[in-house]
Each structure stands twice: as structure tokens, then as C-alpha cells.
Amino acid sequence: MAKQLHLGAFMRPVSIHTGAWRYPGALPDANFSLAAIQRFIRSLEAAKFDYFFMADHLGVLNLPRQALMRSHTVTSFEPFTLLSALAGVTERIGLVATASTTYDEPFHVARRFASLDHISGGRTGWNVVTTSNPDSSRNFGLETQPDHAARYHRAREFHDVVTGLWDSFADDAFVMDAAKGIYFDPDRMHALNHKGEHFSVSGPLNISRPVQGWPVIFQAGASDPGRQLAAETAEAVFAAESTLEGSKAYYDDVKGRAATVGRNPDHIKIMPAVFLVVGDTVEEARAKRAKLDSLVHYDSGIHSLSGMLGHDVSGFDPDGPLPDIPESNASKSSRRFMIELARAENLTIRQLAAKAGSYGGLAFVGTAKTIADEMQHWLEQAACDGFTTMFPYLPEGLEDFTGKVVPELQARGLFRTEYEGATLRDHLGLPRPDNRFFA
């Protein structure tokens, strides 16, 4: 059988587009309506998606009032609380959440994900991130944040501690022998006793080993430290490349690095983020995108751009070119993408702000057939293993994709018609990891 696509859905925020909540027929409160989100995840599960993914932010962005007042992401649910609720109304779809290695502790993260994996029957994934937003640091008693390299160094140790805690108990530790009065075998329990540069964690974790052994490890990151961390630890990667050639190079680089450190490259799934606008004709889809982009106010766009660049550009001439921008602690991938876009297309700051406030990354805008053509081409060119889909507005944008594009992919044999397994590892074709402490 030909290689099949994996499909995930980026659902926090429910749309990354700043104008999404203003689109005719959209649900303005979709980010914080449990009923709406339950509707969305049921539609995704009916379409046999691999996973539902929640990004997270640890603070309200410190934007000027005129920009902040236009944001539909200023309020949303905490990921673990929401995903625990969603686990109860779904059966197969994966549940992936972001948890920061910069402002959290390994024991907390290990315990939350282990709990969610048990609650969901083995459907969880951890998106490992380093927090680059300086506004978040002040919510944790810090005036400054660690620099880029230091954040990734901490993240590597954080990952090792969390996965070590997940291995605290052997799979057969809990014998529950009522006749003998023995609940578990203490010889099948391991105390981590980790003492490192950033963390000192005794362990063991006070919950049995997750159903999947470990929840699936997700990551994103285009910088060299980000790629190396992904190659060493990730099992699925949210890539941000916006061109076929760029994604092919990223795919080869990360999988090549994984092979170099002794990992099976097939055990890392590269899942580029793609913004999807579906129409019955290409012209209709383009008109939808144009309407959506027209709903982005400059006040919002310029501050989205400043955040992505890690530098305030609101004081420059809106109709002039983007000047040279100094390095910062902002996300390297977002900064690089916007600068390259400005140079390649000779965009003014106003035009670049419109891109930043809408969505300037990879987008497939067309009919079910043309979008399926593009997805198939990327898969066949070894530019991806699937896609992390982003919808332009909810619920229509999501339902356009699940109702029109997914059946086209299924008809081509490129996407499943039924789930074949019960866990997220089953969906992604990933092995269950061995326990490092118990054979």
C-alpha cells in the first residue's frame, strides 16, 4: 500500500488568523466555548484525524490597548483541563498539549501527562517548547528570560527527567494480589535520583507508567538547537517551512541528524503546519481568503509583526521597507520567516503586518481536488509525513476540510477510512518505548 498521510489539527487558538472571529458565520467565542470545541473534536474524530493539538501561552501579550482589544486569543482554556474534558467525549483521536520547559517543573509535567494518558486510554502527546515570550516571565517572578541557547539546554535536561519519571514503574509492577494483600511489587519501582545542572528530582513518579509507555513527544523549531533537540528526542515535529524545497531540506536535515545519533528516522514524523481555505472553485477559495485577510486591522497586524520579530517596528514608516532587525530572544523560526518574506517579496511594513496578522506561512487555497493534489505532491516528494492543519474560521472552515478534502484523500488511498489502533502511537506508527530501568 502507498504511503499514507497523517493529519493533525491545530486547535488552540481554534484559528491562528487574527480576523477569524469576525468572519461571517464564525463563532466569536470558539476559543473558550466547551460546547463548540466538543463539536469540533467530534468532527475531527469522525474524519479519522490523528490528533487534536493545543498550543499554550503563559500570559496575555503586553500589547497596546488598540491591538489587544482586537485579539480573540486573549482568553482560552488551560490545555490539560480542556483535554481531560475532551477525553470523555472522544474515543480514538489523539490529544496533544504544549507544556513549557522554561516556566514549569519536570515532575509537574510528567504527572499531568501520565494522568491524561491513563484517562484517555493512551492518546496523549507532549509538545515540548521553550517559552520565548518575555511577557510570560513576569508571571513567574522573573524580569528577564533565559537566552535562546540556555532555554534549549534546559529543555534537553527537562526531557530526560520527564521521560525518566514516566519509567518509574515497570509495566508489571502493580500485581494487585488481593489474596496475598500485595498491591504492587516495590522491586519494580525505580527512584530517579536525578541531579543535574538545572534540576534535582528524586522520584519516583506517583502514578503508574503511561499506557503508551511515554506520551508521544512533539516539538517545533527551525533554529539549529531546535533541530538538534528534535533529532535527539522528538517523535513528531511541527515544521514551519512554507515552501516545498524548504520543507524537503528540513525533512532531510532532521531525519539525517536522527540517524547520526542512532535513532530510526522513520520514528520521527515531520508535520508541516498548513493553513487551509476550501472552496467549490479556486476563485471562491481565493475570495474567502481575501475576505478573511481584509478583517485584520493594522493595529493588530503591526503588533503581531513586532512580536514575531522580537523588535518593535511600529515606529517605522508603514509604507517603507523593513529595516535590518537586531537579534533577540524571540522565536528564531518566526523571526527568520518574516525577514525572508519581506526581502523575497519586497514588502512594506504595512504589507508585512497584514501577513503577520493574518497568516503568512504555508497555505493551500483551492478546491478539494487541488488541495489534495498539493498534499499528495508534498508526501511523494518526501517533504513531509503529513500535515498539522489550521482552519481559517470555525466551524465552516473545519467542516469544509473534513467534509470535502478528507473524502478526496481517502478516495486516493492517501488517508485512513477507519482507525486501526487505539493509541496515538498506533495512529502515527510509532513503537512503544522500552522502560530504561526494567527489561
Binding-site residue numbers for FMN are: 56, 98, 148, 152, 223
Given a cut of 60, whether residue 421 has pLDDT beyond it is yes
Q: In the CATH hierarchy, which fold is given to the domain comprising 6-283+360-428?
A: TIM Barrel (3.20.20)
Residue type at 274 in one-letter notation: V
Tell me the C-alpha to C-alpha distance, in Å, between residue 124 and each of 19, 238, 293, 315, 390. Answer: 30, 16, 34, 44, 20
pLDDT computed for residue 408 by the predictor: 98
Cell of residue 57, nine digits = 501561552
Residue 143 vs residue 367, higher pLDDT:
367
Residue 358 CB contacts under 8 Å (≥ 6 apart), including other chains: 17, 18, 19, 292, 293, 296, 301
pLDDT computed for residue 91 by the predictor: 98
pTM higher than 0.85, yes or no? yes
Nearest to 153 by CA among 193, 195, 199, 112: 199
Residue 143's pLDDT band (cuts 50, 70, 90): low
Burial class (CB in 10 A: 0-12, 13-18, 19+), 223: middle
Given a cut of 60, whether residue 266 has pLDDT beyond it is yes
Q: Which residues pair with 129 in a beta bridge?
A: 100
pLDDT tens figures, 321-366:
999 988 876 667 778 888 988 999 999 999 898 888 788 889 999 9
From CA 200, how far away is CA 192, in angstroms rounded? 10
Tell me the C-alpha to C-alpha distance, in Å, between residue 422 and each of 51, 371, 374, 402. Answer: 12, 28, 29, 21
Taking residues 163-173, what's their average pLDDT? 98
Mean pLDDT of the chain: 92
pLDDT tens figures, 52-110:
999 887 777 766 787 778 888 888 899 999 999 999 999 999 999 999 898 889 999 99
From CA 307, how far away is CA 128, in angstroms rounded? 21
From CA 385, how far away is CA 251, in angstroms rounded? 9
Cell of residue 259, nine digits = 540517524
Nearest to 391 by CA among 51, 97, 7, 10: 10
- Domain span(s) for CATH 3.20.20.30 in the chain: 6-283+360-428
From CA 299, how far away is CA 194, in angstroms rounded? 48
**Dihedral sign from CA coordinates of 255, 256, 259, 260:** negative
Largest distance between two CA atoms of the chain: 80
Residue type at 222 in one-letter notation: A
Lowest mean pLDDT among 7-21, 164-178, 196-210: 7-21
Beta strands in 306-436 (DSSP E): 363-366, 386-390
94-100 and 51-54 strand pairing: parallel
CA geometry: angle at 304 spanning 298 and 305, to 5°? 90
Cell 481554534 locates to 14
Cell of residue 402, nine digits = 473534513
How many Cβ atoms from other residues are within 10 Å of residue 382's Cβ? Answer: 14
Binding-site residue numbers are: 56, 98, 148, 152, 223
pLDDT computed for residue 60 by the predictor: 75
* Radius of gyration (C-alpha) of the chain in whole angstroms: 22
Taking residues 240-266, what's their average pLDDT? 96
